[in-house]
Amino acid sequence: MDMVDRGLSQEQKMMRDTCRTFIDSCVTPFIRANWQREWLMTPEDRLPAYILEEMDKIGLRTLGIPAEFGGTPIDPGEEVQTFAVIAEEIARGDSGLADKLAQIWKVSVLLRHRAPPHLQERWFARVVADPSFLLAHCLTEPRGASDRWLPYNAPDAAMDTKAVRRGDNWVINGRKQFISNGYDAGLYVVYATTKPGVGMMQGTSSFLVPRDTPGLSVERCNETMGGRFMNNGEIVFENCAVPSDHLLVENVAIGDAAIYFRPGKIIQAAKNLGVGMAAFERTAAYVQSYVQGGRLLIKHQAVALRLADMATRLCACRGLLREASRSVDEGAADADQLSNMAKVFVSQEVLAVCQNAMELHGGAGTMLDVGVEKLFRDAAIFLHMDATVDISRLKIVKAMFPETAGAYAGPEP
């Protein structure tokens, strides 16, 4: 399918075209030629440093960082829509690479709204100066991850990670798992219970925690089935003390996090759409060049029908994604439900697209060195990122019918 310019500003078109050229000339050739590196059990060796360095040169790493600190300028009225456009293009090359950068973008949104000026100056400067410097947010824990995504406010849904004020410091103890960029980030946003017994919505705070803080340890890299060029990690905090000014939001951090959770949902859907577009483009090229039964595959009716279905699903995804990203930029009343709808719908439709891609490639579709099965694995991961599909559906219903929807967990009020 041709790229669709409808609704894009000139700036967005220029950024998209620059990004697409880079992906097609640098990222995709690397991924295709080095497919074995995805399976290295030394995570730091999977993605070579030069790829992030080259992305830095064209301003793709520093979206979301204010221009005054050296970030890439974006029209603030179209910021989330721009995130979506660029995330889709990067994920056409590799979804894990897109996720590495997406964490920088959305955490930067939080920092510029909630971090004090001196910390913005310090940490944005670090991100801008070092192409390898990554950001991560630590919400998910070993127990009850979905409880935190609903969220419901029963006291037993509170974070197991706790922070206690001691003098001029906050001391954090606990464990976070399934953290995007967790294995190699330089700076973490950490959520912890600071007011036990009152429920998650009134008792959870967020903190800025540098990687080299004593008491913070990266326990492992989680070896995922897809998105393997982003190193997912497990983090432990043992009497990890941070200065009091590193508190971002006290007690109401979960509700406040919508400021970057909404863009995060849009970015997730856009990355997923990029995987679907890569699957479609490769499949369209394959069925128009491979002969089976004496004719090109596309001339077989069964193949043509599947190709049409794939294209229709992707167009529907893009339409909902653009509507949802616009609603977030506008601060619309339905932004919560639309961003979750986009996340859910795109994750399911793209998985179906990638399944068709594998099947239309026949036996070759299952071969590691061909790369189509990688797209299927990458798409499957999105069902579980930024909340599971079913938890996201419950959030949609809660957003649509706040007065009558059920609690879905914990006792009925």
Domains in the chain: boundaries = 10-132, 136-253, 256-400
Fold of 136-253: Butyryl-CoA Dehydrogenase, subunit A; domain 2 (2.40.110)
DSSP structural state of residue 369:
T
- Is residue 412 packed enough to be buried (19+ CB in 10 Å), middle (13-18) or exposed (0-12)? exposed
Would you say domain 256-400 falls under CATH 1.20.140.10? yes
Q: What is the pLDDT of residue 143?
A: 79
Q: Which two tokens mark 75?
A: 């029209």
**How many angstroms from the chain centroid is the CA of residue 274?**
12
CATH fold match for the domains 136-253 and 256-400 = no
Q: What is the pLDDT of residue 155?
A: 60
Q: Supply the pTM of this predicted model.
A: 0.94
Cα first-last separation, the chain = 50
Q: What is the pLDDT of residue 409?
A: 59
Successive 10-residue mean pLDDT values, the chain, 413 residues: 74 94 96 96 95 94 93 93 97 97 94 95 96 95 69 70 97 96 97 90 94 97 96 98 96 87 94 98 97 94 97 97 96 95 97 98 95 97 89 90 77 54
Q: Which two tokens mark 395?
A: 């959030």
Phi, psi of 133 (to 5 degrees): -80, 125
* Residue spans of alpha helices (H) in 58-182: 79-93, 95-114, 117-129, 145-149
CA atoms of 93 and 121, how far apart (whole Å): 32
Q: What is the CATH number of domain 10-132?
A: 1.10.540.10
